Homo-oligomer: A and B are copies of this chain.
Amino acid sequence: MLRNRIELDCQECSIRNDSAFGGLCSHSISAINGHKSSNIHRKGQILFHEGTRPLGVYCVNKGKIKLYKLGNEGKEQIIQIAKEGELLGYRAMISEELYPVSAETLEECHVCFVPKHDFLQMLSSNQELYAKLFKHACHELGIMTQNVTNLAQKTVRERLAITFIMLRETYGKDHDESNKTVINLTREDLANIVGTATETLIRLLHDFKEDNIISTKGRKIIIEDESELIHIANLS
């Protein structure tokens, strides 16, 4: 077995208030707590595979997880980098479809799992949680229309700037001594977020470094000048 158990308690969970489970009554929280299992996943493990049937939902307690869809040449298109507090896998369960994406850990992650049956029961008895998830899904749809427009109309350079701005949210808590965001992703993953070839991405990183917008330490990328990123992103 590639994962290990860990003891996590929803009542004590520090990131609960940032998650979909924030603001729930203590009765609901203890219901979740009673049905979940908590696991440590090593880097590179798959939580679920695109095209498989949802078995439950995953609540990220710690670590980053990439959600990606495979194109037909086997190239990953990364749809989202999920961080602590995010609830994964509920959408396909609600729409009663197969997972449209795969979820893979980018580092060691602590993840709680709530089985489908228990989760659906909670949902049906908790209007507040239901409304919260519905709202979240509608919000995501708005973001996706923006993503589609960016991919269709913006240059790779602009999309890379947008990606960095977005990753600053995701990696905001990972910062260096001088409080600058540090992004730890392979060049290939970064290219698969932007939607370009790895070589093209590397050339653009070079340009950004020359302009002191970013710096690098090994594979790690440090965001140096966000205002210039916003400028390059050329947002409408």
Chain A interface (Cβ within 8 Å of chain B)?
Answer: 69-73, 75, 77, 79, 91-92, 94-97, 100-101, 130, 133-142, 144-149, 151-154, 195, 234-236
Closest residue of chain B to A96, judged by CB? B135
Complex contacts, A137 vs chain B, CB 8 Å: 134, 137-138, 141
Cβ–Cβ contact A148 & B70, under 8 A:
no
Task: Report the minimum CB–CB distance from A36 to chain B (whole Å).
Answer: 22
Cβ–Cβ contact B153 & A94, under 8 A:
no
CA distance A211 to B139 in the complex (A): 42
CA distance A75 to B71 in the complex (A): 27
Complex contacts, A75 vs chain B, CB 8 Å: 153
Please judge, given known A-B contacts A141-B141, A153-B195, whether A95 and B135 are in contact too, CB under 8 Å. Answer: yes
Copies of this chain: 2
Complex contacts, A135 vs chain B, CB 8 Å: 94-96
Complex contacts, A151 vs chain B, CB 8 Å: 148, 151-152, 195
Q: Which 6 A-B pairs have the closest CB atoms?
A: A152-B195, A72-B236, A95-B138, A144-B144, A71-B153, A100-B142
A95 in complex: contacting residue of B69, B79, B142, B153, CB < 8 Å: B142
Cβ–Cβ contact B140 & A141, under 8 A:
yes
CA distance A147 to B152 in the complex (A): 10
CA distance A147 to B100 in the complex (A): 11
Complex contacts, A72 vs chain B, CB 8 Å: 153, 234-236
Complex contacts, A148 vs chain B, CB 8 Å: 69, 77, 79, 144, 147-148, 151, 195
Cβ–Cβ contact A69 & B138, under 8 A:
no
Cβ–Cβ contact B154 & A71, under 8 A:
yes
Cβ–Cβ contact A94 & B154, under 8 A:
no
Please judge, given known A-B contacts A95-B135, A96-B135, A134-B94, whether A77 and B142 are in contact too, CB under 8 Å. Answer: no
Cβ–Cβ contact A153 & B77, under 8 A:
yes
CA distance A136 to B94 in the complex (A): 9
CA distance A38 to B77 in the complex (A): 42
Task: Report the minimum CB–CB distance from A207 to chain B (whole Å).
Answer: 21
CA distance A87 to B83 in the complex (A): 33
CA distance A138 to B136 in the complex (A): 10
Task: Report the minimum CB–CB distance from A23 to chain B (whole Å).
Answer: 16
**6 extra interchain contacts, Cβ-Cβ under 8 A, other than A72-B235, A94-B135?**
A69-B148, A72-B153, A96-B135, A134-B134, A134-B137, A148-B151
